[in-house]
Amino acid sequence: MKAFGKILGLVVLGLLLIVVAGGFALTHLFDPNDYKDEIRQLARDKAHVELTLNGDIGWSLFPWLGLELHEASIATLNKPTEPFADLQMLGLSVRVLPLLRREVQMSDVRVEGLNLSLVRDENGHGNWEDIGKPLPANAPAATAETAPATTAPAQTESKPVASERPVKLDIDSLTVNNARVQYSDARSGQSFSAESIQLSTEAIHEGINIPLKMTAFLSSGQPVLRARIELAGEGRFDRTLKRYQFEDMKLTGELSGEPLQQKSVTFSAQGQLLADLAANVAEWNGLKLSANQLRALGELSVRELDKEPKISGGLSIAQLDLRKFLDSVGVELPAMNDPTTLTSFELVGHLQGSKNSLALEDLAMKLDASTFTGRLAVEDFAKKALRIQLKNDTFNADRYLLAKSEAAASATAARQAEVKGNEVNALAGSGTTPLPDAPTQVAWSSDKLLPVDRLRELDLQASLNFGELTLNKLPIQDAELKANGQGGLITLETLRGGLYNGDFETHGTLDVRPQVPQIGLTSKINRVPVEHFIKHDGDNPPVKGLLSLNSDLTASGNSQKGLIDTLNGNASFVINNGVLVDANLEQQLCQGIATLNRKTLSGEPRGKDTPFQELKGNLTLRNGVASNPDLKIRIPGLTVNGNGDLDLRVLGMDYRIGVIVEGDKRDMPDPACQVNERFAGLEFPLRCRGPLELGARACRVDKDGVGKLAGQVLGNRINEKLNEKLDEKLGDKVSPELKDALKGLFKR
């Protein structure tokens, strides 16, 4: 037995020596470069690709099946002269004996100078879609004898082999140097590329962590973007469980380009990645993101990978100076009324989404001194379907409004100077100064108000609630805003709230479908102090009182000036329990009575304001000018009627006022201001003209009207004398009825 065993061992050893010697002879005596044409034809017939071998082929047989290709390229059969991939060198080797056990044991795999070019033509067809496809050919029809022979193998190949085991992969390392991938789309004009790709891994074995590193330079054509990235981590895969992991992933880099206004963004992303294809779930745990000053943490999960993927997770953005961050990424903010806004921002919320939608649920956002909670969502990216449901504690919207342009600020300054010039004369208490001039300076800005192009594309549903909203310096309590828009038509369902113990409500539409935007508003204001609407620059308002207003207005334009110039509609107003500030209307009237009495007022005015019970009227607006034919003011001891116009374009007024007075009713009346019987029922005329801010301070006695009134007074006096003469002559000789009839003849 020992001899037999020894003989058997010698035989096996001899066979191994023969195999090794044969492999040595084969690899040294057989040169594959002599068979390049046959290899190319084999690639056409079996792999259906056009293989070009410009360099040498190196190889080894045993115990490693080694292959080394130089200057090779691959193209599809239908475009053999346009290779989609080429490389400078590919080197790999595989152990021969493990191949028999369906195990791939490879040494180091090296790829040098890989260049992959992917092109989609004008018809949307990609050159990679033809890889492995044979050229169409007119094959001869199968005969009756050959038909069964050709169909049987096809049926056999379509049946899966139950005993087939997956190939076991075992690679010592993978190195890719100076690779390049380029994609271009002729139909859209877009192009992307990844250049100078460097990839290296340690041993690649299934079920264990595989450390890897990669660097690359990325770029895009429209818009122009450039990025440098570095990726490191440990990969792990299990093909049986269909489970793929990337642990301790760290992606860092730098991004610049046209969208960033050529500024640079330094970014990083970290976390644990998992794709479980058996469960159709992908996760990103321990997510950490940074981009310049921005820092964020979160978790992301994608489920139903085999259907319509659904995204869920959480996101937290640490406090940052949003203004500086936006500037660092090339976003130029317009000038705002308050340049210190957007300096503090932080956010926490839950993410929900799909491939065409994204929502932030349970949102908590802090912006400067304000806190918002609720929901923000884009329900359809293509339609820009924006959904907003937010609640806020306190928000000063005035701080975030656009600052006036230099032209608008200059126009405002010019008008204020004009008002101040008129105000100097208007403050004279006696009312003997000339009537102020009508204003001529435009009161409104020509700056663009609305981003019309964006609004036309907007699909909006918004619901906002504020504990306190400051808008145009008005503190609105419990403000509620609901709006929706689609196809360029935006509807303001409601804007309501409390205001200085009163309330208001507004409805309206904004139509941006025409070239010039169209606006329609219906408003109701209930017992709100009017002085808060008309005061400016800290000056005292001309009128105080509780305003109630109903209005239905339309306008067109995209600036304050454009809207006011086209303002049309109707309004009615009432001001109760009010005061005409810095306007002693009684003194003005006494001046008129003294003129009729041909006397001079002896005392100085004792008060500077005129209180009233009610001021009301109706307005008809035509292209920025409001006609008010029925102004009425209820003042104790006075009856006031008026009619005139309010020119909203320059915030000017021109009124004629008629006042019936009882005279000076003070304990110590001015003799020049006493009303006797011949003034009874007479309407004393006033003229009010000038900037609206002056209010009643712009009113003066209408001298022309007083002249006419003097004639009427003179007629009344003559009638009094005639009546006295009739009484003397007739005495008791005629009946009282006849006497009254005769007196009536003189009054006509």
How would you class 735 by CB atoms within 10 Å of its CB: exposed for 0-12, middle for 13-18, buried for 19 or more? exposed
Contact 543, 692 (CB under 8 A): no
C-alpha closest to that of 648 among 441, 443, 419: 443
Number of Cβ within a 10 Å radius of residue 332: 7
Is residue 381's pLDDT more than 60?
A: yes
Cα–Cα dist 360/603, whole Å = 72
Dihedral, 579, 582, 585, 589 alpha carbons, nearest 10: 170
In degrees, rounded to 5, the angle at the alpha carbon of residue 555 between the alpha carbons of residues 552 and 561 is 125
Q: What is the mean pLDDT of residues 388-392?
A: 96
Cα–Cα dist 397/470, whole Å = 6
* The pLDDT value given to residue 38: 79
Which amino acid does the sequence have at 423? Answer: E
3-state secondary structure of 514: coil
Is residue 313's pLDDT more than 60?
A: yes
The band of 552, judged by pLDDT with boundaries at 50, 70 and 90, is very high
Q: What is the mean pLDDT of residues 412-433?
A: 61
3-state secondary structure of 457: helix
Contact 256, 291 (CB under 8 A): no
Enumerate residues 6+ apart whose C-beta is below 8 A from 421.
none
Q: What is the mean pLDDT of residues 87-109?
A: 75
Share of the chain above pLDDT 90, in %: 42
Is residue 34's pLDDT more than 60?
A: yes
Question: Quick check: bond before 148 cis, omega within 30?
Answer: no
Cα–Cα dist 524/573, whole Å = 10
Report phi then psi at 145, rounded to 5.
Answer: -75, -35
Is residue 126's pLDDT more than 80?
A: yes
Structure confidence by residue, pLDDT tens digits, 166-195: 566 778 889 999 999 999 998 888 899 999
Three-state DSSP string of 546-601: EEEEEEEEEEECCCHHHHHHCCEEEEEEEEEEEEECCCCHHHHHHHHHHHHHCCCC
More confident residue, 315 or 170: 315
The band of 323, judged by pLDDT with boundaries at 50, 70 and 90, is very high
Average pLDDT, rounded, for the chain: 80
Three-state DSSP string of 497-511: EEECCEEEEEEEEEE
Report phi then psi at 613, rounded to 5.
Answer: -85, -40
Cα–Cα dist 259/265, whole Å = 11
Cα–Cα dist 51/34, whole Å = 15
C-alpha closest to that of 86 among 126, 49, 113: 113
Element (H, E) at 544: strand 543-556
Enumerate residues 6+ apart whose C-beta is below 8 A from 159.
none
C-alpha closest to that of 649 among 626, 672, 666, 667: 626
* The pLDDT value given to residue 107: 82
The band of 729, judged by pLDDT with boundaries at 50, 70 and 90, is low
Enumerate residues 6+ apart whose C-beta is below 8 A from 725.
none
Is residue 686's pLDDT more than 50?
A: yes
How distant, in Å, are the alpha carbons of 353, 509, 661 from that of 380? 10, 24, 69
Is residue 296's pLDDT more than 50?
A: yes
* The pLDDT value given to residue 142: 37
Element (H, E) at 23: helix 2-29
* The pLDDT value given to residue 251: 96
Cα–Cα dist 536/519, whole Å = 26
Structure confidence by residue, pLDDT tens digits, 341-362: 999 999 999 999 998 999 999 9
Is residue 305's pLDDT more than 50?
A: yes
Number of Cβ within a 10 Å radius of residue 584: 21
Q: What is the mean pLDDT of residues 564-587?
A: 85
Structure confidence by residue, pLDDT tens digits, 52-90: 888 887 776 656 667 788 888 888 888 888 888 888 988
How would you class 401 by CB atoms within 10 Å of its CB: exposed for 0-12, middle for 13-18, buried for 19 or more? middle
C-alpha closest to that of 232 among 201, 207, 193, 276: 201
Q: What is the mean pLDDT of residues 425-444?
A: 68
C-alpha closest to that of 613 among 575, 662, 656, 573: 575
* The pLDDT value given to residue 55: 84
Dihedral, 584, 589, 592, 593 alpha carbons, nearest 10: -130
Is residue 20's pLDDT more than 50?
A: no
C-alpha closest to that of 360 among 384, 385, 379: 379
* The pLDDT value given to residue 301: 96
The band of 579, judged by pLDDT with boundaries at 50, 70 and 90, is confident
Query: How many residues belong to the chain?
Result: 748
C-alpha closest to that of 564 among 693, 407, 449, 420: 449
* The pLDDT value given to residue 410: 73
Structure confidence by residue, pLDDT tens digits, 479-522: 999 999 998 999 999 999 999 999 999 999 999 999 999 999 99
Sole residue written with tokens 């007629």:
715
* The pLDDT value given to residue 91: 84
Q: Where are the domains of the chain?
A: 26-131+168-205, 433-450+517-701, 715-747
The band of 609, judged by pLDDT with boundaries at 50, 70 and 90, is confident
* The pLDDT value given to residue 504: 94
* The pLDDT value given to residue 214: 96
Q: What is the mean pLDDT of residues 107-118?
A: 89
Is residue 711's pLDDT more than 70?
A: no
Is the model's pTM score more than 0.95?
no
More confident residue, 640 or 464: 464
Is residue 148's pLDDT more than 50?
A: no
Token pair recorded at residue 372 = 């918002």
Cα–Cα dist 122/118, whole Å = 14
What are the start-end ranges of the E strands in 239-309? 243-257, 264-276, 281-291, 294-303
Cα–Cα dist 417/728, whole Å = 65
Q: What is the mean pLDDT of residues 677-704?
A: 75
Share of the chain above pLDDT 70, in %: 73
Give how far the C-alpha of residue 742 lies from the chain's centroid of Cα atoms, to the nearest Å. Answer: 82
Question: Quick check: bond before 691 cis, omega within 30?
Answer: no
Cα–Cα dist 578/11, whole Å = 125
Give how far the C-alpha of residue 704 lies from the chain's centroid of Cα atoms, to the nearest Å. Answer: 58
Three-state DSSP string of 314-360: EEEEEEECHHHHHHHCCCCCCCECCCCCCCCEEEEEEEEEECCEEEE
Contact 300, 311 (CB under 8 A): yes
* The pLDDT value given to residue 14: 44
Per-residue burial over 179-215, b = 16 or more CB atoms within 10 Å of its CB, e = otherwise? bbbbbbbeeeeeebbbeebebebbebeeeebbebebb
The band of 708, judged by pLDDT with boundaries at 50, 70 and 90, is low
* The pLDDT value given to residue 10: 43
* The pLDDT value given to residue 717: 53
The band of 597, judged by pLDDT with boundaries at 50, 70 and 90, is low
The band of 535, judged by pLDDT with boundaries at 50, 70 and 90, is low
What are the start-end ranges of the E strands in 166-238? 168-185, 191-201, 204-205, 210-220, 225-238
Dihedral, 42, 48, 54, 60 alpha carbons, nearest 10: -50
Cα–Cα dist 483/148, whole Å = 72
Per-residue burial over 422-431, b = 16 or more CB atoms within 10 Å of its CB, e = otherwise? bbebbeebeb
Pair type for strands 638-647 and 625-635 = antiparallel
The band of 221, judged by pLDDT with boundaries at 50, 70 and 90, is confident
Cα–Cα dist 212/233, whole Å = 6
Cα–Cα dist 287/315, whole Å = 9
Among 96-105, 426-435, 544-553, the minimum mean pLDDT is found in: 426-435
Sole residue written with tokens 């429209």:
222
Contact 52, 73 (CB under 8 A): yes
